[in-house]
Amino acid sequence: MIASNAAPASRDSSPLDRIRIVLVSTSHPGNIGSAARAMLTMALSQMVLVAPRRFPDPEADALSAGATTVLERARVVATLDEALAGTVYSIGLSARPRAFAGQVMPIREAAGVALSRARQGEVALVFGGEMSGLSNDELARCSTVATIPANAGYASLNLAAAVQVAAYELFVAANGGGVWRAPRFAGATHDEIEALHAHAARTLTALRFLDPRLPRRLLPRLRRLFARAGLEREEVNILRGVLARVDEVLDGDTRR
Chain positions contacting its own copies, by CB under 8 A: 34, 37-38, 40-43, 65-67, 96-99, 101-106, 108-109, 145, 147-158, 160-161, 164-165, 168, 171-172, 175-183, 185, 232
If the CB atoms of residues 22 and 160 are measured against its own copies, the closer one turns out to be 160
To its own copies, the closest distance from the beta carbon of 182 in angstroms equals: 5
To its own copies, the closest distance from the beta carbon of 209 in angstroms equals: 27
Q: Are 19 and 170 in contact (CB under 8 A)?
A: yes
- Omega prior to 56 cis, within 30 of 0: yes
If the CB atoms of residues 43 and 85 are measured against its own copies, the closer one turns out to be 43
If the CB atoms of residues 132 and 205 are measured against its own copies, the closer one turns out to be 132
To its own copies, the closest distance from the beta carbon of 24 in angstroms equals: 20
If the CB atoms of residues 96 and 255 are measured against its own copies, the closer one turns out to be 96
To its own copies, the closest distance from the beta carbon of 251 in angstroms equals: 34
The rounded distance, in Å, linking the Cα atoms of 97 and 145 is 10
To its own copies, the closest distance from the beta carbon of 248 in angstroms equals: 29
If the CB atoms of residues 83 and 127 are measured against its own copies, the closer one turns out to be 127
If the CB atoms of residues 7 and 179 are measured against its own copies, the closer one turns out to be 179
To its own copies, the closest distance from the beta carbon of 229 in angstroms equals: 10
If the CB atoms of residues 36 and 83 are measured against its own copies, the closer one turns out to be 36
- What DSSP letter does each residue of the chain carry, written as one string? --S--PPPPPTTS-GGGGEEEEEES---HHHHHHHHHHHHHTT--EEEEES-SS-S-HHHHHHHTT-HHHHHH-EEESSHHHHHTTEEEEEEE-SS--TT-S-EEEHHHHHHHHHHHHTTSEEEEEE-BTTTBS-HHHHHTSSEEEE----TT-----HHHHHHHHHHHHHHHHHTT--PPPPP-PBPPHHHHHHHHHHHHHHHHHTTSS-TTS-TTHHHHHHHHHHHHT-BHHHHHHHHHHHHHHHHHHTT----
